[in-house]
Amino acid sequence: MNRTRSEQLFAEALKYIPGGVNSPVRAFRAVGGQPFFVNRASGAKIWDVDGNELLDYVGTWGPAILGHAHPKIIAAVKAAADHGTSFGIPNPLEVTMAKLICERVPAVKKIRMTSSGTEACMSAIRLARGFTRRDKIIKFDGCYHGHADSLLVRAGSGALTFGNPDSAGVPPAFTQHTIVLPYNDEDAVTACFAANPNQIAGIIVEPVPGNAGLYLPQPGYLEFLGEITRAHGALLIFDEVMTGFRLARGGAQERFHITPDLSTFGKVIGGGLPVGAFGGRAEIMDCLAPLGPVYQAGTLSGNPLAMAAGLANLAELEASDAYAKLEKLGEQLAAGMRDAAKSAGVPVQVNACGSMFCTYFTSAPVHNVADAMKSDRERFKKFFHGMLDAGFYFAPSQFEAGFISTAHAPADIEKTVAAAAKILRGL
């Protein structure tokens, strides 16, 4: 593929933007080479500035569940923009969005909008601490909840150790109350509560972790998290920024029949515009200012353009047979990739949940980040670039989930699997 214009733009970007990108994974550091620059997108396809056409399995990292530039979303944004891009004053669309989320997610009785998933998770944790009057939070290795200081933590040396900062610029004191445990390990959680009696405010978890690739909760694991938090007076926080309204009409909590105390959302509820939200039980949410002592604010929270785009996105998902279609496409892709890898004799684990998926280059099942780290990253690099050159854009990291949209067709999946089979045979 000719990428001359992308190369020129990247060279120029390096002069003015750190690393040439505004989010690290876009830099292609995990796979080598240089990123391409997108000129436009429509449906399941994107076109770069050099005119190359690609079938997209990144989908803006999740929001483009209907595909890119869906006409109803574009029309909704244009109509909203005609009335103004931002007010800093309550607008009717905020109320409509809040009511819609509360209707679709039974665990959410009240909700507050933010401008990003990072803000939503940061605020939910502050709220959990304020409500319980406890300081410690449990998170899981491999689960990403945004780049707030107290959440940028890697796993310690054991189940009960406190995490160390995972980024320069984060003082250790900021993370001393964040405990990092392995995902899918019930014993580690039990031991942690025993070692920290009446000190743990809550557990924050991606019900289906999608930021270390993709792996699923073991049967009974999410139920266990609900039970142990209730038993110890702590709160269970579901980070559904990625899974919310994607894995089911009511998100992962509907799919797995779990009722968390707090939930965070993003991506799909913004239809491609910056957005986040956190909500839950009314008595917890009423601890937020101006009613309670927990402060949280945001100038652009409930932005009318984001609300309009998100409402159009959710309305179209409701009106169409979207979730059934996404399930079938996800099953088709996962089965096809498994068959292709088997035929090629390449050890690959294809983890999938609805319209989310990940291909790990390892022979062992992947249930947590430690399993994921056993993947052959050099093999993934070759696979990634082979697919990219063939016209298929997968996430440029072994440790990121892929996404399918309703704009993908069964024929697209067939072409993808055929291309993957050819590339896998050459690895």
Sheet hosting strand 262-266, strand order edge to edge? 110-114, 276-280, 262-266, 235-240, 200-205, 136-140, 178-181
Active-site annotation holder among 110, 136, 139, 267 = 267
Spatial distance between the Cα atoms of 311 and 302, rounded to a whole number of angstroms: 12
Task: Say if residues 273 and 312 touch (Cβ distance below 8 Å).
Answer: no
Short-list 331, 425, 347, 329, CA closest to 386: 425
Q: Where are the beta strands (DSSP E) in 115-256?
A: 136-140, 178-181, 200-205, 235-240
Q: Is 144 a catalytic residue?
A: yes
Q: Is 261 a catalytic residue?
A: no
Q: Is 360 a catalytic residue?
A: no
The residues that bridge with 240 in the sheet, in sequence order, are: 265
Which residue is it, tokens 């080479």? 33
Total residue length of the chain: 427
Spatial distance between the Cα atoms of 64 and 66, rounded to a whole number of angstroms: 5
Active-site annotation holder among 185, 239, 261, 376 = 239
- Sequence letter at residue 373: M
Active-site annotation holder among 144, 183, 323, 393 = 144
Token pair of 1 as six digits = 């593929």
Q: What residues are annotated to the active site?
A: 144, 239, 267
